[in-house]
């Protein structure tokens, strides 16, 4: 079956978010009263799996192997039927 | 550790690249300038995804060098995709390569790849997941500038540089801030204890950069510019020695008596290490 | 009015031109966003009368591409042909005619030059627009078969601190500036070609219409030059690189009209998206295929997409061609043939290949993981045809399509007030500090460091020069393109739009003079130039007149300096919220360095050396930064005296070859004061000047921007020899007291360099 998995990757607390800060500065320059921006990466992955759990397991592994670096990043995922 | 490199063996350097790598030409040139044979090898040639006559075997080389660039666009994280592709097909080859005492070197993006691969710092051998990260420069910007480096380590193939010697070598990166995340303190101690820190950013006179920009261009922990594994045969560094092999490549050469570039001794040191055969 | 469209195939319509009246023409042009005038549509109708049929929508779109200002230079061609195209020089190998100019480097090698604008896309999407500008200029060089070795990016924005309300749909200069710099950095750094030179200018006229010009230099063995034309009848067209999508549709007509309030919403599809990681292997694969002599022609997909590339290649080879639209790899389903025909999706190349070599070429692209597909074939019909689902949907006479249209547009020059205003000399210390803090003068370091300027390891003189972490602006960067030769190329980008606004003729001529000065400063002999002519709407007489004057000024100066224009581009319809942009004929200057080991940088080297001024300072304050800062108008723009300056140039180069010159910097924006300060910054040394000679006012002496001048540092022991070679005035010495001291008769100025440096560093954004 096809599943759609949304992976959300965030920087751990305390890690400098240079991208977020840069964007915050630019938005302020455009005139918005914005004090904080955090950058988050979201991947929407379509995967074939035998069950929801199986899909979760596969993408969990993919996160560990490639998508997230545990030293600086946390990740979370949610699985939906495609 | 046993060593199989020595007299009679070909001392070939494998300069490994994939799409987005972009320092491969000058890297090969640097090795050739000091008399080592270097070959540009596409990752596909090692993983066997090419016609037979183009296939290459990692075991045939003495040095594996991963040069700088933006492998796979540095999407996901700098070096992550390159690392994942190496891991999926060449894991055993690389493990053997390192255990044979051969040399692995990563510069800039190559350092990021080695860290993502778990080959550095590799406290307890090659790690499954990364133990460190090279992340966004503290000022959030790409930096292309000359920096001073102090040779503080005892890496097998930088011996010729001499302890506490200062080199002027350029950096060019957006993600070069070395960190252990929440484990900064604990692991830094370990790095120091193991004598794994090979290069630290410093001031022109060799005194500590103390994290201050621009001496430390990216805000790296403890001014770390390059580290090796505990066995001292895998080295990763952010600065680009291949860009300053000749005197006229140095940023301030018009102010000095002409001579050799500060990167040359780095490559000569590799050559001597190979000749010595450890 | 009857419906002028008739469906003849899925997604293909025949358009009733033969029976159309004026209101139909207007409707068709508008509905299809063709950007063609009534006259042009009538000309097309007459053509189809002769063909005894109505056109398809694909065909009309083809005309819209090929007849756009961007593609056929219909407004500028007559004046270009009279001026900048006419400079003949022995170093020219293949100039003006193709995507990039090919110029003699040494016996075996040539260098390749391209310069282009990417203005309108960048004004809408600064990041993407600038990035794809880099992509396009790289392809222009690669399609000659050359290895790119350097990128150059002259940029022009409105004031970064602009406070007034902006019209709807207009983005703030600060936002445009940041986006453009990030776009260039992210794309340029990824493709691994060093960005070694450029310039940044600020002027109110660029608000809402910033200029992003991009240049590229390449190197090639002369016997490997490949041309933008098919070689033989029967040659196969291979399309390589990115897939074709709906991005960048109507890019050329959008580049050939003024931006408006609606542009933001309406024109976004005209902005293409770049994909640097496709470009890098695409370059490798194209160059490898060419090196192996497998190509008979190569051209990049630029403005006008498949339409222009396939037609122009066939036409240039005096052949015809058939393109199979069904074979073109697409990004999305359901694209209409006209969309495929005109899409300007990035990272695509077209090659013509002998049938027996097709397999070999495809194999090379397969190794590099770059998609490559056979899409057509050259024939001897001198017509271009496109086939879709087995049916011909386009069949046009190439001569008619590509000869295009030319206009000798009316022009009326609006004379400027050249009278000098009377004013009291302001406090000089304060003025000096303000001058160094001016965004037009201040340090560019925070931009320069964001570009990798030394990847490939061949950048011998970098854009920032001097003591580490005290570096200053260099005049030109120097590249050593070949491993086994010390011969080099010096590269600079120059134009002073404030000069050009006050006087387009002398402003343009001054740009040539400045390029020459910069090239000489590093010890190179000026060799060739490329021009990117950015002007306003040519349908307005005053803008047209400025364009003509500027071209005449360029011709006068470049012809006298014997530096031919080898490549270039024209960008018209640049109109900001405050009227036309300042006339901006951006120049890329290239010099030959005999021996890169003898290049000279701009930073002072030692204390106790003598400073010489070469050239004459005049009261030519029109368009100067000094007047602008004080809010003064009028004045004479500096004149150009090529014979005098050439003499100085030859003497300086001679002195440099004898190693008598320790550092050298040309005098430009901000005059003598800025030049001296910048040299001092780079060496972390002090300067003492005595400018008492002559009876001009001190402020004019310090801030005049007269052409033909250099400031040169010489060792005391070499002074006599230097003076015997160069006609120069001794005006000061280098010191170690950290001050810039200036004496003019009774006036004594003492400026702490640290304070000057702080102002200079903070003018844009502190690094």
Residues of chain A with C-beta less than 8 angstroms from the C-beta of B183: 71
Rounded Cα gap, residues C59 and C529, in angstroms: 37
DSSP label at residue C442: S
CA distance C756 to chain A (A): 27
Residue C50's CB is within 10 A of a number of other CB atoms, namely 9
A72–B181 CB contact, under 8 Å: yes
Nearest CA in chain C to A25: C175
Find the catalytic residue in C70, C227, C453, C473.
Answer: C70
Catalytic residue among B24, B242, B268, B273: B242
The pLDDT of residue C273 is: 57
Helix (H) or strand (E) holding C569: strand C565-571
Is the predicted pLDDT of residue C261 greater than 90, yes or no?
Answer: no
User: What residues of chain B lie within 8 A of the CB of A14, using their CB?
Assistant: 181-182
Cα–Cα distance measured from residue B215 to residue C655, given in angstroms and rounded to the nearest whole number:
36
Q: Are C756 and C741 a contacting pair, CB within 8 Å?
A: no
- Output the CA angle C143-C148-C153, nearest 5 degrees: 105
Encode pLDDT of C420-444 as tens digits: 999 999 999 999 999 999 999 999 9
- Chain-chain contact of B22 with C603 (C-beta, under 8 angstroms): no
Percentage with pLDDT > 70 across chain C: 97
- Mean pLDDT, range B89-96, rounded to an integer: 94
Q: Between chains, do B29 and C461 touch, taking CB under 8 Å as contact?
A: no
For residue B179, pLDDT beyond 90 = yes
Q: Tell me what the mean pLDDT of segment C42-47 comes to.
A: 95
Least Cα separation, residue B183 to chain A (angstroms): 8
- pLDDT, one tens digit per residue, over C654-688 is 999 999 999 999 999 999 999 999 999 999 999 99
Are residues B136 and A69, on separate chains, in Cβ contact within 8 Å?
Answer: no
**Average confidence (pLDDT) over C478-491:** 97
Q: Rounded to 5 degrees, what are φ and ψ at C213? A: -105, 140
Shortest Cα distance from B184 to chain C (angstroms)? 27
Residues of C in contact with A31 (CB under 8 A): 172
* pLDDT computed for residue B253 by the predictor: 97
Beta-carbon separation of A26 and C175 below 8 A: yes
Query: Is residue C375's pLDDT more than 50?
Result: yes
Shortest CB distance from B76 goes to which of A12, A14, A67? A67
Which pLDDT band, with edges at 50, 70 and 90, does C1 fall under?
A: very low
CB burial readout C347-361, b (16+ within 10 A) else e: bbbbbbbbeebbeeb
**Number of CB atoms found within 10 A of residue B221's CB:** 18
Do residues C679 and C687 lie in contact, with contact meaning Cβ atoms separated by under 8 Å?
yes
Band (pLDDT 50/70/90 cuts) for residue C253 is low
Token representation of residue C428? 């000089």
Q: Is A64 helix (H, G, I), strand (E, B) or coil?
A: helix
DSSP C197-234: EEEEEE-GGGTTS-EEEEEEEEEEEGGG---SS--STT
* Distance of alpha carbon C374 from alpha carbon C189, whole angstroms: 31
Q: Map C651-669 to HEC letters.
A: HHHHHHHCCCCCEEEECCC
The mean pLDDT of A39-58, rounded to a whole number, is 93
Residues from chain C that touch B72, judged by Cβ atoms under 8 A, are: 277
| pLDDT tens figures, C59-111 | 999 999 999 988 889 999 999 999 999 998 999 998 888 889 999 999 999 99
State whether C178 and A26 contact (CB < 8 Å): yes
**Do A66 and B84 count as a contact with CB atoms less than 8 A apart?**
yes
Give the Cα separation of C367 and C515 in Å (integer): 42
Active site residue C284: no
Cα separation of B106 and C271, whole Å? 38
Residues of B whose CB is below 8 A from C276: 20, 70, 73
Choose between A62 and C261: higher pLDDT: A62
Dig out the tokens for C46 from the structure: 């007459």
pLDDT of B6 strictly over 50 = no
Residue C203 annotated as catalytic: no
Q: What are phi and psi of C491, to 5 degrees?
A: -135, 135
pLDDT for residue B74 is more than 90: no
User: pLDDT by residue (tens digit) across C270-286?
Assistant: 555 566 677 789 999 99
B204 contacts C461? CB cut-off 8 A = no
- Asked if C172 and A29 come within 8 Å (Cβ–Cβ), the reply is yes
B108 is catalytic: yes
Using CA coordinates, name the residue in chain A closest to C178. A26
- Please report all neighbours of A, defined by 3+ CB atom pairs within 8 A: B, C
DSSP codes joined into one string, B149-174: EEE----GGGGGG-TT-EEEEEEEES
Helix (H) or strand (E) holding C154: strand C147-157
Measure the CA angle with vertex C608, ends C606 and C612; round to 5°. 90
Per-residue pLDDT at A64: 87
What band does C266 get if pLDDT is binned at 50, 70 and 90?
low
d(CA B13, CA B16) in angstroms, rounded, equals 9
Give the model confidence (pLDDT) of C136-161 as tens digits.
Answer: 999 999 999 999 999 999 999 999 99
Q: Is B124 exposed, middle or buried (0-12, 13-18, 19+ CB in 10 A)?
A: exposed
pLDDT tens sequence across C304-327: 899 999 999 999 999 999 999 999
Residue C267's pLDDT band (cuts 50, 70, 90): low
DSSP 8-state code for residue A1: -
* CATH code reported for the domain at A2-81: 3.30.1280.10
* Interchain proximity C462–B251, CB inside 8 Å: yes
Under 8 Å CB pairs connecting chains A and C tally to: 9
**Per-residue model confidence as pLDDT tens digits over C567-603:** 999 999 999 888 999 999 999 999 999 999 999 999 9
C-beta of residue A76 within 8 angstroms of C-beta of residue A44: no
Instruction: Decide if B181 and A71 are in contact by the 8 Å CB cutoff.
Output: yes
Mean pLDDT of chain C: 94
CA distance C171 to C165: 11
Q: How far is B234 from chain C (nearest CA, A)?
A: 24
Contacts of A12 in chain B (CB under 8 A): 181-182
Closest CA–CA distance from residue C175 to any residue of chain A (Å): 7
Catalytic residue among B108, B202, B228, B273: B108
| Inter-chain CB pairs, A–B, below 8 Å | 51
Residue B176 CB neighbour total at 10 angstroms: 29
- Which residues of chain A neighbour B116 with C-beta distances below 8 Å? 69
* C471 vs B contacts (CB less than 8 Å): 251
Q: Kind of pairing, strands A2-11 and A40-48?
A: antiparallel
Structure tokens at C103: 């110029």
Q: How far apart are CA C359 and CA C351, in angstroms?
A: 13
Distance (Å, whole) CA B234 – CA B213: 28
Q: What is the pLDDT of residue B133?
A: 96
Residue A56, pLDDT score: 94
Angle between helical axes of C57-66 and C38-51 (0-180°, round to 10): 130
- Backbone angles phi and psi of A53, in degrees to 5: -65, -40
Taking contacts as CB-CB distances below 8 angstroms, the residues of chain A near B131 are 71
Substitution target from B136, B137, B216, B254 for chain C, most C beta carbons within 10 A: B254
Tokens of residue C313, six digits: 């290649």
| Residue with more model confidence, C503 or B72 | C503
Q: Any CB–CB contact under 8 A between A26 and chain C?
A: yes
Residue of A nearest to B182 (CA): A71
DSSP 3-state of B24: helix
Which helix (H) or strand (E) covers residue C41, if one does? helix C38-51
Q: For residue B7, what pLDDT is reported?
A: 42
Give the H/E segment covering residue B37: strand B37-42
The confidence score (pLDDT) of residue C302 equals: 86
As a whole number of angstroms, the distance between CA C19 and CA C659 comes to: 76
Identify the closest residue of chain A to C182 by CA–CA distance: A22
Secondary structure class of C681 (helix, strand, coil): helix
The mean per-residue pLDDT over the stretch C684-693 comes to 97
Q: What is the pLDDT of residue C264?
A: 57
What's residue A69's pLDDT? Answer: 87
Q: What is the pLDDT of residues A54-71, one digit of tens each?
A: 999 999 999 988 899 888
Rounded Cα distance between B242 and C347, Å, is 29
DSSP C55: P
Whether residue A71 lies within 8 A of chain B, CB to CB, comes out as: yes
What residue spans define the domains of chain B? Answer: 12-276
Residue B214 pairs in a beta bridge with none
Beta bridge partners of C218: C112, C148
Nearest to C274 by CA among C113, C122, C98, C152: C122
Nearest C-alpha in A relative to B131: A71
Q: Does A71 touch chain C (CB under 8 A)?
A: no
Tokens of residue B34, six digits: 């000091």
Backbone Cα Rg of chain A: 16
How far does the CA of residue C59 sit from the closest CA of chain A (Å)?
40
Provide the Cα torsion C429, C430, C434, C437; round to 10°.
60
Positive or negative torsion for Cα C328, C331, C333, C338 = negative
CB contact under 8 A, C449 and B145: yes
Q: Which chain C residue has the Cα nearest residue B242?
A: C457
Enter the DSSP assignment of B181.
G
> Is the Cα dihedral C693, C695, C698, C700 positive or negative?
negative
Pairing verdict, β C739-744 and C686-690: parallel
Interface check for A31 against chain B (CB to CB < 8 A): the answer is no
Q: What is the mean pLDDT of chain B?
A: 93
Residue C716: other Cβ atoms inside 10 A = 11
Shortest distance between the Cα of A24 and any Cα of chain B, in A, equals 12
Neighbours of C232 (CB within 10 A): 14
First-residue to last-residue Cα distance in chain C: 63
Contact C15, C46 (CB under 8 A): no
Rg (CA), chain C: 27
pLDDT > 70? residue C268: no
pLDDT band at C2 (very low <50, low <70, confident <90, very high): low
Mean pLDDT of C255-274: 62
Do C608 and C734 meet the contact criterion of CB atoms below 8 Å apart?
A: yes
> Smallest Cβ distance to B172: which of C368, C455, C466?
C455
CA distance linking residue C299 with residue C629, whole number of Å:
46
- In B, minimum Cα distance to A15 occurs at B181
The whole-angstrom distance between A64's CA and the closest CA on chain C is 25
Backbone angles phi, psi at C716, to 5 degrees: -55, -45
CB contact, 8 Å: C646 with chain A? Answer: no
Distance from the Cα of B273 to chain A's closest Cα (Å) equals 33
pLDDT for the residue numbered B278? 54
**Above 80 in pLDDT, residue C200?**
yes
**Which residues, 6+ apart, have CB-to-CB distance to C164 below 8 Å?**
none
Partner residue opposite C190 with nearest CB, options B70, B204, B215: B70
Between A31 and C38, where is the model more confident?
A: C38
| Nearest CB to A72; choose among B133, B137, B139 | B133
Question: Which pLDDT value is given to residue C258?
Answer: 76
Please give the pLDDT value at position C208. 86
Interface membership of A14 toward B (CB under 8 Å): yes
CATH code for B12-276?
3.40.50.880
State mean pLDDT over B153-176.
94
**In whole angstroms, what is the distance from residue C680 CA to residue C235 CA?**
60
Nearest to C25 by CA among C13, C9, C36, C12: C36
pLDDT computed for residue C103 by the predictor: 97
């Amino acid at each position: 079956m096809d599943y759609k998995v949304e992976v959300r990757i965030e920087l751990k607390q305390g890690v400098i978010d240079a991208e977020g800060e840069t964007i915050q500065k630019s938005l302020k320059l455009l005139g918005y009263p914005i004090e904080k921006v955090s950058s988050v990466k979201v991947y929407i992955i379509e995967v074939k799996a035998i069950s929801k759990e199986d899909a979760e397991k596969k993408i969990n592994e993919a996160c560990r192997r490639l998508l997230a670096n545990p030293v600086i990043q946390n990740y979370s995922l949610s699985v939906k039927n495609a | 550790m046993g060593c199989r490199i020595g007299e009679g063996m070909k001392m070939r350097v494998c300069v490994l690249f994939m799409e987005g790598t972009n320092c491969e030409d000058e890297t090969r040139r640097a090795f050739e300038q000091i008399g080592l044979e270097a070959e540009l090898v596409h990752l596909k040639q090692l993983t066997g995804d090419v016609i037979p006559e183009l296939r290459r075997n990692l075991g045939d080389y003495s040095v594996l060098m991963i040069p700088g660039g933006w492998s796979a666009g540095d999407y996901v994280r700098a070096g992550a995709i390159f690392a994942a592709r190496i891991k999926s097909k060449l894991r055993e080859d690389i493990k053997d390569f390192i255990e044979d005492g051969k040399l692995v070197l990563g510069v800039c993006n190559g350092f990021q790849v080695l860290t993502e691969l778990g080959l550095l710092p590799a406290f307890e051998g090659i790690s499954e997941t990364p133990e460190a990260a090279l992340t966004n420069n503290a000022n959030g910007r790409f930096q292309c500038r000359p920096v001073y480096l102090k040779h503080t380590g005892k890496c097998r193939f930088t011996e010729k540089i001499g302890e506490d010697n200062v080199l002027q070598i350029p950096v060019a990166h957006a993600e070069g801030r070395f960190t252990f995340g929440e484990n900064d303190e604990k692991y830094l101690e370990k790095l120091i204890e193991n004598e794994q820190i090979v290069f630290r950013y410093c001031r022109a006179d060799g005194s500590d950069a103390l994290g201050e920009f621009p001496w430390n261009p990216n805000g790296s922990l403890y001014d770390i510019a390059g580290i090796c594994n505990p066995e001292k045969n895998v080295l990763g560094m952010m600065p680009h020695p291949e860009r300053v092999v000749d005197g006229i490549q140095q940023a301030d050469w018009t102010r000095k008596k002409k001579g050799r570039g500060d990167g040359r001794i780095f490559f000569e040191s590799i050559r001597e290490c190979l000749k010595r055969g450890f | 009015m009857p419906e002028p469209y008739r469906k003849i195939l899925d997604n293909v319509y025949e358009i009733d031109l033969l029976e159309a009246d004026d209101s139909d023409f207007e409707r068709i042009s508008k509905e299809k966003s063709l950007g063609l005038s009534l006259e042009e549509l009538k000309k097309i109708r007459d053509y189809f009368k002769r063909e005894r049929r109505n056109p398809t929508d694909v065909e009309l779109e083809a005309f819209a591409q090929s007849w756009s200002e961007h593609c056929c230079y219909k407004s500028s061609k007559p004046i270009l042909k009279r001026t900048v195209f006419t400079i003949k020089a022995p170093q020219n190998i293949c100039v003006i005619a193709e995507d990039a100019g090919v110029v003699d480097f040494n016996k075996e090698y040539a260098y390749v030059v391209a310069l282009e604008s990417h203005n309108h896309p960048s004004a809408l999407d600064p990041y993407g627009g600038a990035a794809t500008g880099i992509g396009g200029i790289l392809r222009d060089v690669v399609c000659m078969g050359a290895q790119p070795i350097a990128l150059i990016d002259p940029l022009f924005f409105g004031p970064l601190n602009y406070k007034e309300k902006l019209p709807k749909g207009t983005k703030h200069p600060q936002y445009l500036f940041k986006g453009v710099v990030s776009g260039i950095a992210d794309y340029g750094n990824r493709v691994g070609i060093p960005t070694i030179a450029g310039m940044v200018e600020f002027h109110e006229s660029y608000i809402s219409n910033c200029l992003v010009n991009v240049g590229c230099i390449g190197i090639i063995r002369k016997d490997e030059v490949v041309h933008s034309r098919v070689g033989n009848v029967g040659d196969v067209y291979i399309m390589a690189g990115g897939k074709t999508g709906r991005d960048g549709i109507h890019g050329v007509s959008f580049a050939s009209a003024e931006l408006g309030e609606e542009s933001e919403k309406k024109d976004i599809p005209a902005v293409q998206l770049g994909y640097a990681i496709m470009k890098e292997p695409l370059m490798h694969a194209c160059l490898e295929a060419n090196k192996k002599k497998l190509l008979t022609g190569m051209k990049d997909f630029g403005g006008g997409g498949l339409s222009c590339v396939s037609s122009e290649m066939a036409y240039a080879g005096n052949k015809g061609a058939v393109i199979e639209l069904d074979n073109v790899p697409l990004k999305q389903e359901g694209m209409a043939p006209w969309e495929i025909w005109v899409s300007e999706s990035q990272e695509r190349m077209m090659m013509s290949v002998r049938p027996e070599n097709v397999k070999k070429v495809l194999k090379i692209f397969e190794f590099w993981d770059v998609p490559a597909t056979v899409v057509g074939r050259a024939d001897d019909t001198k017509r271009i045809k496109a086939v879709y689902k087995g049916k011909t949907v386009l069949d046009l006479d190439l001569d008619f399509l590509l000869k295009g249209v030319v206009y000798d547009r009316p022009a009326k020059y609006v004379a400027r007030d050249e009278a000098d205003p009377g004013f009291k000399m302001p406090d000089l210390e304060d003025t000096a500090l303000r001058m160094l803090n001016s965004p037009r003068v201040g340090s560019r370091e925070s931009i320069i460091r964001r570009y990798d300027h030394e990847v490939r390891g061949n950048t011998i003189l970098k854009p920032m020069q001097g003591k580490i972490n005290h570096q200053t602006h260099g005049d030109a960067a120097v590249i050593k393109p070949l491993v086994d030769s010390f011969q080099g190329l010096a590269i600079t980008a120059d134009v002073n739009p404030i000069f050009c606004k006050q006087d387009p003729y002398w402003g343009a001529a001054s740009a040539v003079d400045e390029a020459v000065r910069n090239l000489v400063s590093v010890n190179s002999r000026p060799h060739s130039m490329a021009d990117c002519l950015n002007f306003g709407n040519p349908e307005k007489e005053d803008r047209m007149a400025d364009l003509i004057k500027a071209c005449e000024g360029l011709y006068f100066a470049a012809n006298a300096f014997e530096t031919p224009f080898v490549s270039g581009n024209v960008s018209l319809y640049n109109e900001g919220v405050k009227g036309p942009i300042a006339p901006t004929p951006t120049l890329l200057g290239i010099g030959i360095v005999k021996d890169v080991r003898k290049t000279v940088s701009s930073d002072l080297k030692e204390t106790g050396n003598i400073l010489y001024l070469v050239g004459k300072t005049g009261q030519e304050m029109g368009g100067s930064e000094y007047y602008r800062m004080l809010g003064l108008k009028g004045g004479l723009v500096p004149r150009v005296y090529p014979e005098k300056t050439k003499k100085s140039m030859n003497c300086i180069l001679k002195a440099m070859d004898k190693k008598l010159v320790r550092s050298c910097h040309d005098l430009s924006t901000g005059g003598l004061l800025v030049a001296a300060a910048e040299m001092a910054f780079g060496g972390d040394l002090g300067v003492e000047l005595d400018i008492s000679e002559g009876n001009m006012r001190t402020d004019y002496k310090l801030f005049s921007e007269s052409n033909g001048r250099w400031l040169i540092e010489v060792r005391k022991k070499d002074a006599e020899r230097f003076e015997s070679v160069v006609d120069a005035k001794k005006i000061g010495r280098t010191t170690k007291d950290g001050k810039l001291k200036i004496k003019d008769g009774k006036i004594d100025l003492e400026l702490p360099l640290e304070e000057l440096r702080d102002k200079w560093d903070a003018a844009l954004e502190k690094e």
